[in-house]
A and B are shown apart, each in its own frame.
Chain A
Amino acid sequence: MSEFSPIFLYLVISPLVSLIPLGLPFLFASNSSTYPEKLSAHECGSDPSGDARSRFDIRFYPVSILFIIPDPEVTFSSPWAVPPNKIDLFGSWSMMAFLLILTIGSLYEWKRGASDRE
């Protein structure tokens, strides 16, 4: 447990690093000269025409789903790479089967053109 103490040190340091730049302007900023137009969204000098939040098209959703796929691949291949002499051929080929199934999905994605630009 004690070998993780640098991580806990970082848990202290990283909030400080992020909170100090956030909090320092509150000490020095003057609150008197704030007017609502200054706080509004800047739209190239013209008045804002609506809310900046807009809906995303559903077509962008596969981007995030297809982004998930390499993550388990990497996660599962790191324990696979450590004891290659203990797991015999079967162990290495089960990883290959895992990759093959995901490759089928990637090929489908490629052929359907899901990651093409339109």
Chain B
Amino acid sequence: MLEQEDAFKFHFREGRRTMILSVSSSPALVSGLMVVRAKNPVHSISFPIPVFRDTAGLFLLLGLDFSAMIFPVVHIGVIAVSFLFVVMMFNIQIAEIHEEVLRYLPVSGIIGLILWWEMFFILDNETIPLLPTHRKTTPLRYTVHAGKVRSWTNLETLGNLLYTYYSDCFLVPSLILLVAMIGAIVLTMHRTTKAKRQDVFRRNALDSRRTIMRRTTE
């Protein structure tokens, strides 16, 4: 009796996880497709926002709460905004050209096939339906007892590993950010002489009497 109840609870929990998985991953897939398919560039940069939101939901499902918190903050708050800047910089009326759909298919198709092929290495073949190796067996159900022990939180684990064992990998993003910063400045900064700049010290040093006097004497 007790065992049955346990089994019911287990099934219920699994069902809820599956529900969260499908509720958050299917809008992510649809919005990801719409990023590519939307005609208006403004629409196609607003579709990443549901993608990021639903991916944060998937992180929550995996128990990565810190990543789930950081992901929308960084991606929606900053990356989407910088994409918006890019879109504002080109002419929207011209940009709404109806492009040929299948132009990029060869390249993107190859990349997609490679990713699809990699999936088979990650996933167990048993979990993929419609595969010839799929057998009618019930998968083994096991409990990870190590996960049941109250251990470190995500934040502690990250902090313990990131700054010590992976410190070299940790310094790589700072270099990438430095390159992005300097590159953006170098590419966009051309000093225009048209803009009238104000030199505060010279302006304060101006003697108004002399200027007016010169004007009047001339």
Query: Which residues in A have some Cβ–Cβ distance to B below 8 Å?
Result: 1, 4, 7, 51, 53, 55-69, 71-72, 75-76, 78-83, 86-88, 90-92, 94-95, 97-98, 101-102, 104-106, 108-109, 112-114, 118
Contacts and interface: CB of A to CB of B under 8 A. Distances in A.
A61 B189 contact: no
Residue from A4, A105, A109 whose CB has the most chain B CB atoms within 10 Å: A105
Nearest to B53: A11
Contacts of A82: 155-156, 159
Contact of A101 (B63, B174, B185): B174
A51 B93 contact: yes
B159 A86 contact: yes
A117 B156 CA distance: 42
Interface residues of B, number: 51
Nearest to B183: A65
B170 interface: yes
B174 A62 contact: no
Given A65-B184, A75-B73, 6 more contacts: A53-B93, A61-B85, A62-B188, A71-B78, A90-B164, A101-B174
A9 to B, nearest CB: 14
B66 A79 contact: yes
A102 B174 contact: yes
B130 interface: no
A68 B73 CA distance: 11
Residue among A56, A57, A62, A104 with most chain B CB within 10 A: A62
Interface in B36-92: 60-61, 63, 65-66, 70, 73-74, 77-79, 81-82, 84-86, 88-92
